[in-house]
Amino acid sequence: MDKEIETLLEMVKSANRRPFWQSTPQEARSGPMLMALLFGEAPSVERDESFTIPSSGGFDLPVRLYVPSKAPKGLIVYFHGGGWVIGTVAGYHPFTATLANRTGCAVLSVDYRLAPEHAFPLPVDDALAAVRWAASPAAAKAIGLEPPVLVAMGDSAGGNLATVASRLHNASSPARRVDLQVLAYPVTDHRFDTGSYAEFAEGNLLTRNDMKWFWDHYCPDTSKRSHPDASPMQAQDLSDSPAALIVTAGRDPLRDEGEAYGQRLKDAGVPTEVVRGEGLVHGFLAMINYAPSAGRAFEKMVAAIGRVNAG
């Protein structure tokens, strides 16, 4: 583990902050996220704009589009983390601006509806609406050209939404498919019985009790948690999923389900690379300017997106 991450864990422990599972959603949203504490200032991007796109129930879905150049190499649809309960496009602005500049791709950052006010499946509706928009002529018009590559990307709960939405989109035989999914420490199953859940139940930023709290808000009807749009590990057929890069954190309750999902994708014939970030903890995308190992993990994601573009 990088000394920077060791220091961070000690700081969190000594701060004695109230854990998510002992908070209300409003209290959890009021505290600073790791991105604000660790990432640093957002870089400038050639152009960015905020607007809305239509989603289910007449909802106008807020998005922010970053265009790093006059000829971006592709379009990344990004879904932020936060257990479907916390997190915002504004809070992720430093990261998504960096993602646009480092990959040379336009980035569409999605402010999907949050639970418990908007429980499953509404966040999935928003994710699918965003991916469908990204695959439409409207996206090409907003960017200024037809993006050569379409990527769905997310971290944690956002990784869950990215993989579900890209599978659903590709399964609909669209004119434009998602080419690649990039998932950072994704939520892929509703069960809490893996080895990593036992080993890292406490002490590494995200706890097992926190994840139970997030699931209770996102999908309070436990009978629906096995639905493949909630728990993609439970899908019978993953063959419509785009090629994948899954990067897990070695010290994360979600590690084993992310890696097991990667194996499920491989078994379905989906080209998939699974990378474990040894010594990393949940939320490491907020740490790419703070801990060297987090920065290296991010570079693997940038490289994977570059390879799809080159191909």
Which residues are catalytically annotated? Answer: 156, 252, 282
Q: Which amino acid is at 260?
A: A
The residues with which 64 forms a beta bridge, in sequence order, are 50, 109
- Gap between the Cα atoms of 96 and 75, Å rounded: 12
- Gap between the Cα atoms of 160 and 149, Å rounded: 21
Residues in contact with 101: Cβ distance below 8 Å, sequence separation at least 6, in sequence order: 43, 45, 68
Burial 82-103 (b: 16+ CB within 10 A, else e): bbbbbbbbebbbbbbbbbbbbb
Q: What secondary structure does DSSP assign to 204-246, as a single string?
A: SSS-HHHHHHHHHHH--SGGGTTSTTT-GGG-S--TTSPEEEE
The residues with which 187 forms a beta bridge, in sequence order, are none
* Contact between 89 and 108 (Cβ < 8 Å): no
For residues 112, 33, 23 and 258, what is the CA-based torsion angle, rounded to 10 degrees?
70
